[in-house]
Amino acid sequence: MTTDKYAALSDRELVALLLQEDSGAWDYLLFDVIAPLCRTRKYLEICKKFSIPFDSLVTAVWMILHKNDYKRLRIFRFGSSFKTYLYLIVREAQRNEVNNVLGKIPLELSEDDDCYTQIADRNNYDSVELKEELNAANGLLARLWLENPQQAWVLLMRNSLNLSSKEVAALLNESPANVDQLNSRAKAKMKQLSRM
């Protein structure tokens, strides 16, 4: 099959070929789907700053997908976009790669445009205030997730993963304008929840 033919396959058909170890399907997945997902501006900056070879990330994703007899492929239930699912695996591989170079990176929550955003900070390992802030923000996010999972998902992708409205829209099959609206509503809801 040509690349175009693989691109035309449904998620279910593509996963079936991957599980059958179709080499063309794997080439398409790695070079035409996963490699572009790996090239986020933020991650490329980290690669440059800490001399992490970019190609190692694609290999890391490949290893996650192959581990335990393709377990991560087998548990995908097609309830959402396969590309979105792969993006989460790419993010997992990115964290693993950075952690391998820098050691465990704790998360500090800071306020950006009145919305909590996760940022990496290696200088506050034992900060009680940091842990309390992290717990409080995660509690708010958990409450938002229960009330409106779509808003919480958009909030995470736009503000924690630093994806553009256009990127989030492509992942969720929404319009960029709708993503912006969901993000604004999520921020407003987080403010409301923080006052309760």
> Which pLDDT does position 178 carry in this prediction?
92
Q: What is the mean pLDDT of residues 28-39?
A: 89
Question: pLDDT tens for residues 73-87?
Answer: 998 888 778 888 888
Task: Identify the CATH number of the domain in which residue 14 sits.
Answer: 1.10.1740
List pLDDT tens digits, range 89-100: 887 787 777 666
Using the predicted structure, report yes or no on whether residue 101 has a pLDDT greater than 60. Answer: yes
Q: Which domain holds residue 16?
A: 3-102
DSSP secondary structure string, 151-167? HHHHHIIIIIS---HHH
pLDDT at 108 over 70: no
Alpha helices, DSSP H, located in the chain? 3-7, 11-19, 23-28, 35-38, 41-50, 55-74, 82-102, 128-147, 149-155, 165-172, 176-195
The yes-or-no verdict on residue 112 having pLDDT over 50 is no
Which of 70, 102, 134 is the last residue before a domain boundary? Answer: 102
Q: Kindly indicate the confidence band of residue 41, based on its pLDDT and cuts at 50, 70 and 90.
A: confident
Per the structure, how many domains does the chain have?
Answer: 2
| pLDDT at residue 27 greater than cutoff 90 | yes
Q: Are residues 93 and 119 in the same domain?
A: no
